[in-house]
Amino acid sequence: MKRLSVKQVILYIGGILMCQISWMGCFPLIPAFFTAVCLEDAARGALGAAMFLGIVLFVPITAAVKYLLAMLIIWITVRLFEWAEGRCTVLCASAAASIATFMLSLSGELLNVRNTVGFLVSALEAVFVFSAVMLGTRFVDFFLQISLLPLREEEGHFQGTKLENYADSFNGLAKIFSRMSAVKKGLSAEQMGRIQNELTGTLCANCSQCVLCWEKAESPMYSYLAYMLQSLQRTGEADHEIVVQMQEYCPYTDAVIQESTRIFEKARLNLAWYNRLLENREIIAQQLDAMAYIMEDCANEMQDVTQENRHLLAEVKYRARERGVLLKQVHLYENKDKRWQFTCDACAKNGSCISMKELTRAVSAGLERGMRPHRDERSIVSPQGGPVVFEEDTCFHETHAVARMVKDGGHVSGDNYSFLELDNGQMAMMLSDGMGSGSNACKESELVLELLEKFLEAGFTEETALKMMNSAMVIRGEDDLYSTVDICSLDLYQGQCELYKIGAAATFIKHRDFVERVESSSLPVGVTHRMEIATTKKQLNDGDFLVMMSDGVLEYLQEEDPELAMCGILKHIDLKHPGQMADAILEQVLEYTDGKAADDMTVLVCGIWKK
């Protein structure tokens, strides 16, 4: 506020000085400067008083009347435009200033202005005033926008460094847990030795024949017992041949086998619980690693480039004011992909309401690149004002639709889908098919998609979100409740899509001349903590369609190669509307099944076009 007051004082002093500059008895800088500063709405009353003082001190009395009247006409004209339309453009103000000056010069005889001002001089003065206002508003606007003091960036840098340090700490913890998480597949030699010692200590120590079995060097009991334990470890049962041979030396063979089986069962149970503990450690390591990624991403996500682009921001404020919008607290940020985000506090002038489209045009023209409001922004700029966020516009736009059918005799589909628009120009299309059908399958697939949506909205990558979601499902640990996951992450800036498939059916890309299919053979989520994610990246072009479907659509085509049959169906569908295409696909599939739905069927279609 203090910096703005200093600038206003400088402008008022400049207005007084303008009253000293004359040319052939004319003072054209008086109406030009007054108009340029008046458009900025920077304390017009104080400006008029300052220039009145300058006119009284430096301008002859006859010319003073002319320019005071011109200033009054300019002020009334600007106020009328602002009252009627909510704004006064530079062009209107420039025309008003030049016409007022020209008409008052011609009427000099009536005003007793006898200073040899002829018609040609009056016309030249009017042209000069018009040009000076058009250029002067730019200089005045730039002068008011430049910062007298550099911005302080140390605090933002400090916060970024703290987040990076936190990320390093979480990465270190994740590595520690990962090193502790090597799952054991069987009993080690040391454990086998302990089992043998426990067995002989329990049964053989109190046996009267212990000396004959274990203290003679030529006794075969060492090898018999070792072979028996190995067979128990492999198959869970003692080898019959070993049992027969042991019975020749040991009368208590049956008791030995029974006790060995009991000890092995206890060891296997302990091993299973130990492995489950290790799996949970690995899941924790994955979650810590994901948290570290998020912190690193937050630390490096946005860079403030306001100072480097002050001239562009001044242009934005100038163009916005031309449309009746005042911008304050303007900032420009650049993300890691070199794309811009513009933030400001915007309010409409003179009690009017301005369309957000008008402000978008001003921001795009000022920054010299296509910008769009954030997807959650309001559509009107009100006089009360508020924060507004703009992001760099995408090169493509998409339209999506869905067609679905519930299994015959069912009431609830086990398939669930989601179309999620993200802040970074990404659109995620997701489909989950719960195992089986009905309400249980629906709840399972719905839970999977809810988790994925929350992770993606929080800023996790698709692969990290899938790992986090799978970890939650594994820890949940409900049997026979698994879901397939099919994700397409569409980059609307470059037209690229990444496909992530976990136990999902094939996805098809319908180009102009051919149909492409993407398949995978991974397991559904929740089966194992080490999930295999099949990832494929594809480039989409103008007019391409991406088609996702649940396995209920493909499995009942009654063809040896259902994916190839689906390619043929898509190739012969000549529709450009995603909704019509999804309905047509489902209709074609039902022709193969005689109109019956043996499973839940869901088809998602997304079309992409260049803007």
* pLDDT per residue as tens digits for the range 565-602: 999 999 999 899 999 999 999 998 888 877 788 788 99
0.75 exceeded by pTM:
no
Supply 235's token pair: 């198959």
Q: Which of 21, 84, 19 is nearest to 53 (CA)?
A: 19
The answer to whether residues 485 and 430 touch, using CB atoms and an 8 Å cutoff, is yes
The mean predicted confidence, pLDDT, of the chain is 78
- How many Å apart are CA 104 and CA 503, to the nearest integer? 83
In the predicted structure, residue 463 carries a pLDDT above the cut 50: yes
Closest by CA to 25, choosing from 75, 67, 53, is 67
Report phi then psi at 26, rounded to 5. -110, 155
Residues 498/539, Cβ–Cβ less than 8 Å: no
Residue 608: predicted pLDDT: 94
> Are 509 and 457 within 8 A, CB to CB?
no
Query: What's the confidence (pLDDT) of residue 190?
Result: 66
**Torsion sign, CA atoms 119, 121, 123, 126:** negative
Of residues 279 and 419, the one with the higher pLDDT is: 419
Quick one: 606 exposed, middle or buried, by C-beta within 10 A (0-12, 13-18, 19+)? Answer: buried
Q: How far apart are CA 243 and CA 250, in angstroms?
A: 10
Q: Is 124 left (phi over 0), alpha (psi -120 to 50) or beta?
A: alpha
Residue spans of beta strands (DSSP E) within 175-253: none
Query: Is the pLDDT higher at 522 or at 487?
Result: 487
Average pLDDT over residues 68-73: 88
Q: Which two tokens stand for residue 516?
A: 């492409």
What is the tens place of the pLDDT at every residue in 229-248? 777 767 666 777 767 767 66
Q: Which secondary-structure segment (H or E) carries 154? A: helix 154-179
Of the candidates 567, 578, 568, the residue with the CA atom closest to the CA atom of residue 544: 578
Of 176-190, 197-211, 403-417, the one with minimum mean pLDDT is: 176-190
3-class DSSP assignment, residue 227 = helix
Q: Residues 571, 453: contact at Cβ < 8 Å?
A: no
Range with the poorest average pLDDT among 82-96, 196-210, 527-541: 196-210
Q: pLDDT band for position 26 (50/70/90)?
A: confident
The tens digit of pLDDT for each residue in 377-389 reads 888 998 888 899 9
The rounded distance, in Å, linking the Cα atoms of 355 and 388 is 13
| C-alpha to C-alpha distance for 401 and 378, rounded to whole angstroms | 25
- In whole angstroms, what is the distance from residue 184 CA to residue 271 CA? 8
In angstroms, the CA 476 to CA 478 distance is: 6
Whole-number pLDDT of residue 216: 59
- The residues pairing with 545 across neighbouring beta strands, listed in sequence order, are 510, 607
Closest CA to 36 of 54, 18, 60: 18
